[in-house]
Every structure is written in C-alpha cells, then in structure tokens.
Structure 1
C-alpha cells in the first residue's frame, strides 16, 4: 500500500511522459498524503486529460474530504465489491496517477522503521493504476482518486517493505504503453492489469520532511498528524 508519494507536477514531464497539458490553475503540492490535492490522468472522449483531485476516493454517499484517509488505496481483489469503490469500478472510472516516487516503511529487526523513497531505476516516473470519482459541488466539478494495490509477497524488491508479519502490498504500476488500455478496456478485461510490476526499481532511506502549508478558503490546512500515514481500518 502507499499513503505518501511525490506526484509529477512539472508541465514538461506531464506532457512528455503522460501526454497531458497541466492545468495552470491546479495548485498541487510537491508531496502528497491522503486528502491532498494531486494530479491524475483520465480519458475523455478517447483523449487523455489532466485533472486534479483529492487523494482518497470519495464515493457518492461520503463526500467529506476526511473520508479519504480511509480510501487512498483499493485492494484489487475486492475493488469490485467494497462499498467505497464499487460505484467507480462498475462505471469504468479508471485513471493513471503520475508519480515520481513512492514512500514505504522498511523495518529493522528491532521493529524500528525508516521511510524509504522508491523510484524507477531509469529515473522516469511511475504511472499507477487508479480509480476516480467525480461530482458537482456548488457548480464546480470535483474529483477524488485512489491507487489500486496488489499482493507482493515474494517480490524481489518490494517485499522488503512494511511491518514484519503483515501482508506485503504494492501499487499497480503500469507500463507506459498500457495507460490507454487500462483506462479504456472493458470491465471484464481490467483485472488483467492486476499483477506485480517486474521492472527495475531502486530505493534509499529518506527522512520525512515537515511542511508548512498555508490555509486556503474552504480547504483545511494539514495538521502535523496528517504527515503520518493513517490506518485504513477494515474497508479493504
């Protein structure tokens, strides 16, 4: 699972690697935690479009932003049946989440942990399979999204992360030539993308940086507790 990552925010990189024009009005932060506003890519009439939404999917029956602290990851095994995700899944609201790097905890024998930065070995960004939701609020179109995850027990690189004795999971990383296929394929075909990614990765410890984010109208400024990946409870 992934509760913290670096989104791709550069207009040049979004165009080069994801084929979308960045919306100059979208004020997305350089590092994302659940409920933060981040970029994702969706298909509209067969064309890729840049959108900005809340990291943590908000289903039709829960639109408060704080609910996203429980829905930033969706298990691929249950995404079609869990209440939080099944509406977006059945409607085919699939997206690609541009990420420069993701962060995971790596535990030592004494159960202390370090935050590790994980990225592609060649330095190009990840495209992570996701779902999104959309609605209109006070005349403004709103979005939220979640990352799909798969079991990664036994993965040669990713299985070293997360607490000992717990299931190992990783985001569904897509190949660049799969982006349009993932977003446009039929519901029956979509599960074929649910597999461990076998491409070369690299990782290193990176201390968590404290951020100061100014409050904006109608947007709650992150509290210090928001900097710690939250529990996902029993939704998954």
Structure 2
C-alpha cells in the first residue's frame, strides 16, 4: 500500500498528461497533503481532442467521502482496495459513479523488509516517465460550503508480481498500486463504473525499478 509518493514537477505533469501546468506547493506527498490529480473535464469543446478532455485539480491525498464530518478520514483512505471499493462506505459512491482519476507520480515509496528492517525504497518507471496511477476522486463540502476535492489510489494483490512481491513485511499480503499504461489514460477517465475492474491489472515488472 502506498502512503508516500512524489508528484512530478508542473512541467513534467503537463507534458506527460496533456493538461495545463498547475502550481504545486509540495512534491513530496503523504496522506492529508494536497497534490494534483487528473480527471475528465466537465466541459469538452471537442470530444475528439483528448488533451482538452482532461483537467488537473488539486486535492487531498486520501479520499474524503461526502458524509464525513471532517478531513481526518483522509489519513486512512489514501489507498482503496479494488476488490472491495464498490462496497466500502468510504469509496462506494466514487466507485458507483465512475469517478475515475489519474494520480501523477514521479516515484512511489515502499518498505523493503528483506534485510529484516523496513528500508524505504524509491520506485519509478524504468523509462523515467511519470507514473499514471489509477484512482478515485471525491468532492466534499467543508463547513464554509466550499468544495474540497480528494483522491485515493486503487490497489491490487501483488503476491505473484516478481518486483512488488519483494516489498512489505514478510507474511503480509503484497499489494501494489494500479499503474496505467499511457495508452489507457483516456479509456480509464471515460470508463463506466461497470468497466472499472477491467483496468485493475499489474504493471509489468520489467518496466519498474528501485532507485
């Protein structure tokens, strides 16, 4: 499960995801911090222009469901198990409504326990390109009536993944975030809720590296 990651620079984000640059206060992100996420644009001038069909917003890393009384829940809802997201109270509304997003990441961090101690390890795509992590987004109104956006990374089992099975404590289930191939960005952002599970696939181990 990923609780720590790096967002790409505004320039990298714009180039890799076809969106306008967005100013980002922090690039080193933990649950509760605000980071960028990409979703389908609410208004599209030209549906065939994939770039104009996307927008980047700033939101809390950690989903805040509409029924929440405050933002503290974000610190527990930064990852969503794809197998149970449809029924878990925190995620089911976003899953049911197909509120898909892409979370841009220059790198993610996972604990390597093979030495017997947790060693935080920086993981990237081997080609150096930013990762596009499949996620769910939500909108919550704060006590002042203002919209607060949030997002969570979707995860899958990685017990048999030749790269990601090396992380997390021995005996624990191995999990990994869903890293989307670039060619599926448009499809994921426009997929219906019933199609969501089709995208829950392992990213090839030979396309990942530990820095």
Whether TM exceeds 0.5 here: the answer is yes
Give the aligned partner of residue 186 of structure 2: 180
Give the aligned partner of residue 211 of structure 1: none
Give the aligned partner of residue 32 of structure 2: 35
1:191 and 2:188 are equivalent in the alignment: no
Give the aligned partner of residue 16 of structure 2: 17
1:203 and 2:210 are equivalent in the alignment: yes
1: CA distance, partners of 2:59 / 2:69 = 12
1:163 and 2:169 are equivalent in the alignment: yes
Kindly indicate whether the alpha-carbon contact (under 8 Å) linking 2:38 and 2:103 is maintained by their aligned counterparts in 1: yes
TM-score norm. by structure 1 comes to 0.81
Aligned with 2:139: secondary structure? strand
1:154 and 2:154 are equivalent in the alignment: no
Within a 5 Å distance, the mapping from 1:26-65 to structure 2 comes to: 27-44=24-41, 45-46=43-44, 47-65=53-71
List structure 1 segments (4+ residues) > 6 angstroms apart after TM superposition: none
TM-score norm. by structure 2 comes to 0.90
2: CA distance, partners of 1:170 / 1:74 = 11
Unaligned 5+ segments in structure 2 are: 45-52
Q: Which of 135, 140, 143 does residue 130 from structure 1 map onto?
A: 135
Which has the larger displacement, 79-88 or 191-200? 191-200
Aligned with 1:178: secondary structure? helix
Structure 1, residues 114-166: CA drift from partner, whole Å, max 9, x if none?
Answer: 11000011100100000010134435332010000000111111110000000
Which has the larger displacement, 29-38 or 136-145? 136-145
Unaligned 5+ segments in structure 1 are: 205-236
CA RMSD of aligned residues (A): 1.4
Give the aligned partner of residue 93 of structure 1: 99
Give the aligned partner of residue 6 of structure 2: 6
2: CA distance, partners of 1:121 / 1:65 = 35
